[in-house]
Amino acid sequence: MRDTNEMEVIFDSCSSNERFARVAVASFLTQLNPTVEEVSDVKTAVSEAVTNSIIHGYDQEIHKITVKCRIEQNRFAVTVKDTGKGIKDVAQAMMPMYTTRPELDRSGMGFSFMEAFMDKVEVESAPGEGTTVRMEKTIGKGRNLWTTQSL
């Protein structure tokens, strides 16, 4: 079996595509035989990143969001990229409870959830150029597949 695999989807930044994005990523992830918990973790993290692009990156205007996934052995990586307004101060944006849009009922917990549910979160952003969020998670950590044990 090949141990690398990639996929990429590009879609419009409308809120109904939040579900599409996390379901598409989750179905690509199934080839790693993840637990229900791991699927939920990845779905939540992807949902947070895509929602950020829609609300903050594009100010709810319709543009394109690119989601790329890569599998390398049991390592899962997902990138969510927009070409929106970008983030001035990434460290501040990632602080729990910090939000620029409290009037839209944003809790300021988006990046905190991404960090809690994934092993690694990296944010690359420049004002006027957009934002790329790269996240990684090892699937099946500490879990022995029965097929690898000697019968």
Partner 1 sequence: MKYQVEENCLTIFLPKEVDHHQAEEIRKDADAMIERNHIKYVIFDFGETEFMDSSGIGAVMGRYRLVHLIGGEVWGVHANARIKKILTMSGVTKIMQIYEEDQR
Q: Assess contact for 148 and 89: CB atoms under 8 A.
A: no
Nearer to partner 1, 9 or 14 (CB): 14
The catalytic position among 74, 106, 124, 134 is 106
Is 17 one of the annotated active-site residues of the chain?
no
Whether the Cβ atoms of residue 112 and residue 118 lie closer than 8 Å to each other: no
Contact yes or no for 1/73 (Cβ under 8 A): no
Stretch that binds partner 1, among 18-26, 27-35, 122-130, 133-141 (CB under 8 A): 18-26
**Closer by beta carbon to partner 1, 15 or else 73:** 15
Between 19 and 73, whose beta carbon lies closer to partner 1?
19
Q: Which of 63, 106, 134, 136 binds partner 1 (CB under 8 A)?
A: 106
Instruction: Give the Cα separation of 65 and 80 in Å (integer).
Output: 7
Contact 39, 45 (CB under 8 A): no
CA atoms within 13 A on the CB side of 61: 8
Considering only residues 62, 116, 127, 129, which one is a binding residue for partner 1 as defined by CB under 8 A? 116
C-alpha–C-alpha distance, residues 78 and 133, integer Å: 8
Which residues of the shown chain bind partner 1 in the complex (CB under 8 A)? 15-16, 18-19, 22, 37, 40, 43-44, 47-48, 51, 54-55, 104-110, 112-113, 116
